[in-house]
């Protein structure tokens, strides 16, 4: 029986990993899948050693407090790899954990495929394909899996009505992050931004999109009695129905770009984590949309810049049909083009399947 070890430590990785496994099952008969992931990967028949809700940790100092648990999970994965001997391992993003895991699996002679490139460019200058070429690592570009996975609401105005919102009034989507620590840091200034925006524009409506990996009651408590509709596990529908969005930096910014939602990108970490981490960052932007576009397409309000007043100032020009809104929508369309066409998960499965079927494997580097 062909066996695949997969390691996903975050909600986005669980999504990408589940789609990869779905396509692999069409190519590899009797595939057995085991490893780390979330509800989506489990729904694809994977046997999980740990769940992403217990693995997703944000920040250097926050990781320290979880080291004992993470080490136990790490050892469990290696013990199971020794016992069950997978034919290959697919490690999805989550570099602090997965790069160490890759080294140990390589020592055991297990082929390792890294899906979603680690963000090497964030701390080392140079074009990504040059970094891999110089290291002698075979690499192929399959495109971004979200291109096929992001779908708008069938009828955005009807979706608003179903939520009890007025389809004729502007609606602002609130995306505080997909991990509990992200929400803990980002939700208070987002809530204050709701107050500031309501004072400037009483006609605004607000919808908080809660990630599938989170308990929506946490977001409801954080928003207190503010008039915000909370929606669980319907992020794409919310973004497609929104006039604009306040989005925590991360995968959600790519989802918003794919749906053409004008946005203000925000993020806040613990002060010590930010001070320690910023010295290693070697890129001019934090938001994926800006990194993909190679310039400032959406405003970034990070750490001390993330205040209610700054959010209000950046958001107000994006609500009505203004030149700023039209320019951002045009720039987001250009970002969508750079992400490649649909079918990334299928192409990734084509690359992984030979390792599981025992066929010849093309390890040539792309130019």
What structural domains does the chain harbor?
Answer: 3-145+343-357 (3.40.50.2000), 150-338 (3.40.50.2000)
Rg of the chain over CA atoms, in angstroms?
A: 21
Each residue of 63-85: pLDDT tens digit? 555 678 889 999 999 999 999 99
Q: What residues form DSSP beta bridges with 205?
A: 171
Indicate if the pLDDT at residue 121 is higher than 60. Answer: no
Work out the mean pLDDT of the chain and round it to a whole number: 89
pLDDT of residue 125: 47
Q: Environment class of residue 271 by beta-carbon count within 10 Å: exposed (0-12), middle (13-18) or buried (19+)?
A: exposed
d(CA 343, CA 147): 8
Confidence of residue 310 (pLDDT cuts 50, 70, 90): very high
Each residue of 201-211: pLDDT tens digit? 999 999 999 99
Token output for 296: 């400032």
CA distances 117 to 124, 142, 164, 244, 275, Å, are 14, 11, 41, 29, 25
Each residue of 227-252: pLDDT tens digit? 999 999 999 999 999 999 999 999 99
CA distances 183 to 4, 211, 311, Å, are 33, 10, 17
Indicate if the pLDDT at residue 136 is higher than 80. Answer: yes
Confidence of residue 20 (pLDDT cuts 50, 70, 90): very high
Confidence of residue 365 (pLDDT cuts 50, 70, 90): very low
Tell me if 302 sits within 8 A of 267, measured CB to CB. Answer: yes
């Amino acid at each position: 029986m062909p066996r695949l070890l997969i390691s996903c430590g975050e909600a986005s990785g669980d999504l990408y990993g589940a789609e990869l496994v779905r396509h692999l099952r069409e190519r590899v008969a009797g595939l057995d899948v085991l490893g780390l992931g979330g509800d989506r990967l489990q729904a694809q028949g994977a046997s999980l050693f740990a769940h992403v809700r217990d693995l997703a940790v944000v920040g250097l100092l926050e990781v320290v407090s979880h080291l004992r648990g993470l080490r136990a999970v790490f050892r469990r994965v290696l013990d199971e790899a020794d016992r069950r001997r997978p034919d290959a391992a697919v490690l999805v993003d989550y570099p602090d954990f997965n790069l160490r895991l890759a080294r140990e699996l390589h020592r055991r002679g297990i082929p390792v495929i890294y899906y979603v490139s680690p963000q090497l460019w964030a701390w080392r200058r140079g074009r990504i394909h040059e970094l891999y070429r110089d290291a002698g690592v075979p690499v192929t570009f399959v495109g971004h899996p979200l291109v096929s996975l992001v779908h708008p609401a069938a009828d955005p105005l009807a979706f608003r009505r179903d939520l009890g919102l007025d389809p004729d009034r502007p609606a602002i989507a609130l995306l505080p992050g997909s991990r509990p620590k992200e929400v803990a840091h980002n939700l208070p200034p987002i809530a204050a931004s709701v107050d500031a925006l309501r004072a400037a524009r009483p006609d605004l409506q607000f919808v908080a999109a809660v990630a599938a990996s989170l308990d929506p009651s946490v977001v409801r408590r954080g928003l207190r009695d503010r008039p915000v509709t909370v929606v669980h596990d319907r992020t794409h529908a919310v973004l497609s129905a929104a006039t604009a969005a306040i989005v925590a930096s991360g995968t959600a910014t790519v989802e918003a770009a794919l749906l053409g939602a004008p946005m203000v990108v925000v993020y806040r970490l613990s002060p010590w984590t930010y001070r320690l981490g910023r010295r290693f960052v070697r890129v001019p932007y934090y938001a994926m949309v800006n990194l993909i576009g190679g310039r400032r397409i959406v405003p970034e309000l990070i750490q001390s810049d993330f205040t209610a007043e700054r959010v209000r100032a950046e958001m107000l020009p994006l609500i009505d049909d203004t030149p700023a809104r039209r320019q951002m929508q045009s720039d987001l369309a250009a970002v969508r083009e750079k992400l490649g066409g649909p079918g990334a998960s299928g192409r990734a499965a084509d690359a992984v399947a030979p390792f599981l079927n025992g066929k010849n494997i093309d390890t040539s580097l792309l130019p």
